[in-house]
Amino acid sequence: MQFVDYVKIHIKAGDGGRGCVSFRREKFVPKGGPNGGDGGRGGHVIIRASAELNTLLDQRYHKEYKADRGEHGKGSNKHGSNAEDKIILVPVGTIVKDDLSGEVIADLDSVGAEVMAAKAGRGGLGNSNFATATRQAPKFAQPGEEGEEKELVLELKLLADVGLIGLPNAGKSTLISVISSAKPKIADYPFTTLVPNLGVVKFREHRSFVVADIPGLIEGAHAGAGLGFQFLRHVERTSMLLHLVDVSDITPGDPVDDFEKINKELVLYSPELINKPMAVVGTKLDLAYEKKRLKLLEKYCKKKGLDFFGISAVSDVGLEKLLKYLVQKVEGLRL
């Protein structure tokens, strides 16, 4: 399925129905009084978070949403029926913004959370409402009010307990495939992961937690390089970050430099990101024969006071220790 996390839509709430101009027509009552009923309310436009969706794909191909207008009033004091509300279902974690002002209208961060994004117009009053002692036969009624019309931005930010970050090929997809039921595409070229992957991790008797593999982070990501700008927003929703760094002997360069490059991108995108709880994981230990890169990164993390773990997701080295740590950390953050 195509992953879509940003769309613009146009919505229009229903107009109210017109009030009715009507008079009683009864036998032996030559001048019957007014009996025009009120118009019905139009339909509101409501945006609701659903657990059944994980992308805004529907809204990419369906960008216009219009609720029905209310029914017009009728004679004999019969009021028009209210129109049904227009419900737009979106994934949990969707932020609703006004496209013109940029104002956040709602943050739909739980199943069933909803917002009335556009208010319907009220129905007009029928002429029976305007009869007075001096105006016994009013020949007018109110038109229905117009429903609100808006341009909205829907922005999806995934909800996860742990966000996996790091340079391409740091081993994020491999790790999430081993510790959860997620089955991301894995290959040995950059940008194998083109969409965020979510996996549910269940470790022994502990409560499960959600891990998100955030793709596309390279130097310059905050400014749109690679795929980073598109997906950095998802990092904002995670409770903690797990920074993966390749420490294998087959990868050139300085692992500390790799770590600092990604941290710099986090700060440039949003300074708050760097303050999230973070642990560092040296990956691909099965290919770290001399362990020079591993020791260099481990020494750096100790100096900076960062929790550090060395693992090999392929050969199951260090995973149990890492999972124990994540379970304790996530449960502590949930309190």
Query: Any alpha helices (H) in 23-98, and if so which ranges?
Result: 57-61
Is the per-residue pLDDT at 131 higher than 80? yes
In a domain, 17, yes or no: yes
**Is residue 96 domain-resident?**
yes
Shared domain for 124 and 173, answered yes or no, is no
Q: What is residue 42's DSSP assignment?
A: -
Residues 44 and 148: their CA atoms lie apart, in Å, by: 9
Cβ atoms of 201 and 212 closer than 8 Å:
no
What residues make up the domain containing 269?
A: 162-334
In a domain, 1, yes or no: no
135: domain CATH number is 2.70.210.12
Q: Are residues 177 and 319 in the same domain?
A: yes
121 and 27 belong to one structural domain: yes
pLDDT digits (tens, 9 = 90+) for 275-298: 899 999 999 999 998 899 999 999
Cα–Cα–Cα angle for 71, 72, 73, rounded to 5 degrees? 120
Same domain, 151 and 217: no
- CATH number for the domain spanning 228: value is 3.40.50.300
Taking the model in full, what pTM does it have?
0.71
Q: Indicate whether 80 belongs to any domain.
A: yes
Whether 97 and 244 share a structural domain: no
Count up the domains in the chain and report the number. Answer: 2
Confidence (pLDDT) at 192: 45
pLDDT > 90 in the chain, percent? 56
With cut-offs at 50, 70 and 90, classify the pLDDT of residue 188: low
One domain for residues 108 and 195 = no
